[in-house]
Amino acid sequence: MNASRLKSGSVQKKLIQNFIAMLVLGTITIGAVSFMTARNALNQKGEIILKNSVIQAIQLIQAEQAQVESGVKSLDSAQEYIKATLLSPLNPNGTRDLHNHVNLGENGYFIVYDLKGVEIMHPTLEGKNVWNVRDMANKDTFLVQEQIAIARKGGGFFSYSWLLPHSNKVGKKISYSAYEPDWGWVVVATAYKQDFNRDARMILLYILSLTIGIVGTVGIIGVRSVKKIVKPIFTIVGGLEKVAQGEYELIKQTESEDEIAYLVDGYNGMILALREARENIENKNRKLEYLAYFDELTGLHNRYGLNQQVNSRIRNANATGYLVQLDIAGLKVINSTMGFQQGDRVLKLIAEHHKTHPGGINQIARTSSNEFTLWIENNQKETVKEIVYGFRDTLKSSIKAEVSGAGIDFHMAMCAQETGDFDELYEKTTMAMKVAKESNDFNIHIYQDDMREQIENELLMSRHLSNAIMDNEIVPHYQSKIDYSTMTCTGVEALARWCSEELGVISPGIFIPAIARLNLTDQFTRYLLDRVLGDYRKLCVKYGEGITVSVNISPLSFLAQGFVEYVDSMLSKHAMVADRLILEITEDVLISDHRAVSATIQQLHQIGVKISIDDFGTGYSSLNYLVNIDFDEMKIDKSFIHQMEKDPKAFHLLKIICDIAELHQYSLVAEGVETTAQLDLIKNTPLRIIQGYLFSKPEALD
Ligand code: C2E
Ligand code: CA
Ligand code: CA
């Protein structure tokens, strides 16, 4: 029920109304019963008086008769004496007054009839025959005849209605009639009932006034006690109204131990529960509010918090400066190899480090799981770079000292605040960060407008790329490997080309990393292997029977589950001899998971496929894996070949590599040989196989 439907005090009103009704009903019942009892008793008393009067009158008649019989009195004088005694002496006008020697009530009197209904004695009707007089209320009743009949049967009462004295209203009368045989008289004593029970009406009046008195006093007391009983209910109702307005107040417990006390207890319990619930909600809201602007782990602002801070500086203080992003490289490795706790420690250390070494950084926030963003209010690009590098360096060494074995670095990007607000600045910095990550360079990358174009192009490319594989838009071109001593082709390397209808010809250096970002590497590798092995027959026709065909395999695909099985199934599908297939992998495969790589190479060797180590001389170039892993071929990277012309040390190193390869019986291939000068140098080494523009460029099969 809502508060608007509440009629205030209605329970109390009902209780009081009911209470007073019961009180009135009770007293009226008692009054009525006592009135009836009193009236009955008085009526009975009146009847006894009537009966006794008639009996005494008859005794008096008989005494007079005795005197008549003894000759003392004449019959006439005896009869006149009785009439004068019962009523009064005859007036000259033939009427008799009501003297009431015998008390028959205020308006009662005696009548005497003979058996034929002639009035022998009556105040006004003496000598008249009243045989046919009827009851005033019930016209079928002949009252005189009834009274005479009752008298002849030995005497008795008869009730009827007659005019009230000096009035034309009809009242209830009662008579007692008895027969006196000596004189032949029917003696009747009549009286009005109301004369007998007048006292009873007094009782009624008395009771009525008593009732009013009782209802008055008991009513006042009763209303007070009802009010006292229902007061806590009012308090509860008042409390509920306050609850609706958000105020939770406890109410005082009553002294009694009744249902109301129980109600008060329940109400107070509810209030306590509501208070607790409100507190919980407030706490949660506070936490949500906190989490909306802060990072729980480090206690630093999150992106929204930083947004507010930076925007308020830009708008209110006309501040300008640089936004810088630091992306932790290697955090995932820490999480997976050392556990999340260690990863969390690194993150907390960064926050703590800023507290103790703010070093010109005005704001720091954790803007995503492994990204921190700094706001530096300084317009000098070089100074800002110095601040960032300094922060990065001390950070790296403090992490190294605190979390042993945590090898991390930071990709860094920054953008100058010129126009616009935080969001624009953050978006631009994120673009620069994307470039930094893609080039896997740990120097600071500063946002330039062409980055946007580059990223947009990439996006465009990504949109077309997934269809490109399915639509066979990516095709292998082939570049031959030549043994310059015999000038024969020993094999070909498949190099992918994307001939896009919309974007033109795109080089693998661009679309292969994009394929990786779209998680399509595996699909692409399988597609290309299928296509190249499908080309093998035609390749033999073009480049010579029994040539080898090399396919570049991304590290991701090489270590993917089911890769070896897939290679095997493709060899069967295209009925190709396994040792004609060479898979080229780069050094970064080797450092990712040494054991898994060894195992995969072993499985591939078991089915007869050969493995070539590509781009040797770049990257990590650890001699360690040369000794531990079984390769079949080593491809010296083109940068090495080009450097060797200018740098005798590089050439010397090449000779050592050749020695190691010979020792392990690896075949050697020189990549990117473009000039005869380069070839002349190579002639001084055991290297025989050349792949480069000097002899051939990658070309389409058809
Ligand atoms: P890579 O495996 O080192 O391939 C040799 C690259 O050197 C090719 O570039 C080739 O065209 C180029 N090249 C050949 N001879 C010369 C030369 O005399 N001088 C110069 N300057 N360059 C020469 P391309 O075709 O642009 O491929 C670039 C890279 O893309 C490849 O380097 C390889 O890592 C990757 N790639 C190409 N096709 C595939 C593929 O099907 N799968 C995978 N995973 N990677 C591929
Ligand atoms: Ca290659
Ligand atoms: Ca290469």
CA of 496 to the centre of ligand 1 (A): 8
- Looking at ligand 1, which atom is closest to the CA of residue 691? 15
Cβ(506) – ligand 1 distance below 6 Å? no
pTM higher than the cut 0.85? no
When the pLDDT of each residue in the chain is averaged and rounded to a whole number, the result is: 88
Nearest CA-CA partner of 635 in 652, 606, 610: 610
Q: Are residues 402 and 517 in the same domain?
A: no
> What's the full length of the chain, in residues?
702
Look at ligand 1, atom 43, and give the residue with the nearest C-alpha: 552
Q: Report whether pLDDT(451) > 50.
A: yes
CA of 522 to the centre of ligand 2 (A): 17
- DSSP assignment of 438-457: HTT--SEEEP-HHHHHHHHH
436 and 476 housed in the same domain: no
In this structure, the answer to whether residues 358 and 491 fall within a common structural domain is: no
Using the predicted structure, report yes or no on whether residue 331 has a pLDDT greater than 90.
no
* Angle in degrees, 0-180, between the axes of helices 594-607 and 563-573, rounded to the nearest 10: 20
Single residue among 449, 476, 508 that ends a domain in this structure: 449
Does ligand 1 lie within 6 Å of residue 614's CB atom? yes
Tell me if 693 CB under 6 Å of ligand 1: yes
Of 461, 559, 467, 440, the closest CA to residue 512 belongs to 461
Task: Identify the residue with better confidence: 631 or 330.
Answer: 631
Domain end among 130, 162, 196: 196
What is the band of 8 on the pLDDT scale with cuts at 50, 70, 90?
A: low
User: Cα(238) to centroid of ligand 1, in Å?
Assistant: 85
Residue where one domain finishes, among candidates 422, 449, 476? 449
Integer CA distances (angstroms), 43 to 56, 120, 173, 196, 435, in order: 20, 28, 11, 6, 125
Determine the average pLDDT of the residues in 414-437: 92
Output the CA 673–ligand 1 centroid distance in Å: 13
Amino acid, single-letter form, for residue 263: L
Residue written as token pair 């729980």: 296
Tell me, what amino acid is at 581?
A: L
Residue located nearest, by CA, to atom 23 of ligand 1: 672
pLDDT at 550: 98
Q: What is the mean pLDDT of residues 107-120?
A: 91
Structure tokens given for 140: 């079928």
Residue 630 falls within a domain, yes or no?
Answer: yes
CATH code at 484?
3.20.20.450
DSSP string over 449-502: HHHHHHHHHHHHHHHHHHHHHHTT-EEEEEEEEEETTTTEEEEEEEEEEEEETT
Confidence of residue 9 (pLDDT cuts 50, 70, 90): low
Residue 560 within any structural domain of the chain: yes
DSSP annotation of 89 reads P
Centroid of chain to Cα 109: 95
Whether 440 and 500 share a structural domain:
no
Residue 683 lies in a domain: yes
Percent of the chain with pLDDT over 70: 96
Range of the domain at 485: 461-700
pLDDT in tens, 139-188: 999 999 999 999 999 999 999 998 887 788 888 999 999 999 999 999 99
Atom of ligand 1 nearest to the CA of 637: 3
User: Ligand 1 centroid to 511 CA: how many Å?
Assistant: 12
**Are 152 and 118 part of one and the same domain?**
yes
- Cα(544)–Cα(564) distance, rounded to whole angstroms? 27
| Nearest alpha carbon, ligand 1 atom 3 | 615
CA distances from 126 to 61, 122, 144 (A): 19, 5, 14
In sequence order, what are the beta bridge partners of 113? 119, 186
pLDDT at residue number 216: 82
Q: Is the CB of 615 under 6 A from ligand 1?
A: yes
The sheet with strand 371-376 has its strands ordered as 363-368, 371-376, 322-329, 409-416, 444-446
| Same-domain pairing of 537 and 684 | yes
Residue with the larger pLDDT of the pair 151 and 517: 151
User: Where is pLDDT greater, at 255 or 467?
Assistant: 467
**Which whole-number Å values give the CA distances from 449 to 297, 429, 657, in the listed order?**
35, 11, 44
Q: Which helix (H) or strand (E) holds 645?
A: helix 638-646
Give the H/E segment covering residue 570.
helix 563-573
pLDDT confidence of residue 612: 96
Is the predicted pLDDT of residue 99 greater than 80, yes or no?
no
Which ligand has the minimum distance to the alpha carbon of residue 481? 1
Give the number of domains in the chain. 3
**Judgement on whether residues 397 and 494 belong to the same structural domain of the protein:** no
Q: Judge if the beta carbon of residue 672 lies within 6 A of ligand 1.
A: yes
Residue 323 lies in a domain: yes
Ligand 1 in contact with 496 (CB < 6 A)? yes
Is the pLDDT at 6 greater than 60? The verdict is no
For position 160, what pLDDT does the model report? 93
Q: Place 667 in a pLDDT band, splitting at 50, 70 and 90.
A: very high
Widest Cα–Cα separation across the chain: 204
pLDDT at 544 over 60: yes
Residue 1, pLDDT above cutoff 70: no
Atom 37, ligand 1: residue with shortest CA distance: 495
Residue having the nearest C-alpha atom to atom 33 of ligand 1: 552
Given 3-state DSSP classes, what are the helix, strand and coil percentages for the chain, each rounded to the nearest 5? 55, 20, 25
Sign of CA dihedral 279, 281, 285, 291: positive
Return d(Cα 42, Cα 204) in angstroms, integer: 13
Residue 585 CA to ligand 3 centre (angstroms): 9
Between strands 156-163 and 409-416, the pairing is: unpaired
Mutate to test the pocket of ligand 1, among 521, 552, 697 (most ligand atoms within 8 A of CB): 552
Residues 489 and 355 in one domain: no
Residue type, 323: L
Look at the block and give the residue holding tokens 């070896």.
564
644 three-state secondary structure: helix
Relative orientation angle of helices 521-543 and 449-470, to the nearest 10 degrees = 70
Together in a domain, 641 and 584: yes
Indicate whether 14 belongs to any domain: no
Residue with tokens 């006008």: 93
pLDDT reported for residue 439: 83
Q: Spell out which residues have Cβ within 5 A of ligand 3, the ion.
A: 614-615, 671
Q: Half-sphere exposure (CA, 13 Å, Cβ side) for 643? A: 13
Flag the least confident range among 187-191, 215-219, 398-402, 463-467. Answer: 215-219
Q: Long-range pairs for 598-607 at CB < 8 Å and ≥24 separation?
A: 598/628, 598/629, 600/558, 600/559, 600/563, 600/564, 601/629, 601/630, 601/631, 602/630, 603/564, 604/564, 604/567, 605/630, 607/564, 607/567, 607/568, 607/571, 607/578
Reported as half-sphere exposure (CB side, CA atoms, 13 A), residue 1 has a value of: 8
509 CA to centre of ligand 1 in angstroms: 8
Question: What pLDDT, in 10s, does the model give residues 301-312?
Answer: 999 999 999 999
pLDDT for 205 equals 81
Q: Is residue 568 part of a domain?
A: yes
- Same domain for 438 and 520, yes or no, is no
Point out the ligand 1 atom lying closest to the alpha carbon of residue 694.
18
The candidate with the shortest Cα–Cα distance to 137, out of 173, 175, 174, 170, is 170
Question: How much distance in Å is there from the Cα of 493 to the middle of ligand 2?
Answer: 7
User: CATH number, domain at 83?
Assistant: 3.30.450.20
Q: Answer yes or no: do 374 and 510 share one domain.
A: no
Would residue 13 count as lying in a domain? Answer: no
Helix (H, G, I), strand (E, B) or coil at 651: helix
Q: Measure CA 525 to chain center.
A: 50
- The CATH number of residue 339's host domain is 3.30.70.270
Distance from the CA of 583 to the center of ligand 1, in angstroms? 14
pLDDT at 3 over 50: no
Tell me which residue has its CA closest to atom 7 in ligand 1: 672
Contact criterion met (CB below 8 Å) for 477 and 498: no
Question: Which one of the ligands is nearest to 616 CA?
Answer: 3
Q: What angle do CA 440, 387, 413 make, to 5 degrees?
A: 30
Report residue 100 as tokens: 């009431």
Among the bound ligands, the one closest to the CA of 491: 2
Q: Is residue 495 within 6 Å of ligand 1 at its C-beta?
A: yes
CA of 458 to the centre of ligand 1 (A): 20
**Do the Cβ atoms of 362 and 321 come closer than 8 Å?**
yes
Q: Say how many Å lie between the CA of residue 635 and the centre of ligand 3.
A: 7
Residue 475 Cβ < 6 Å to ligand 1: no
Residue 83 shares a structural domain with residue 103: yes
Residue 12 lies in a domain: no
Which residue's CA is minimally distant from atom 2 of ligand 1?
A: 552
Decide: 692 in ligand 1 pocket, CB within 6 A: yes
Nearest bound ligand to CA 617?
Answer: 3
Q: Does ligand 1 come within 6 angstroms of the Cβ of 600?
A: no
CB distance 550 to ligand 1 below 6 Å: no
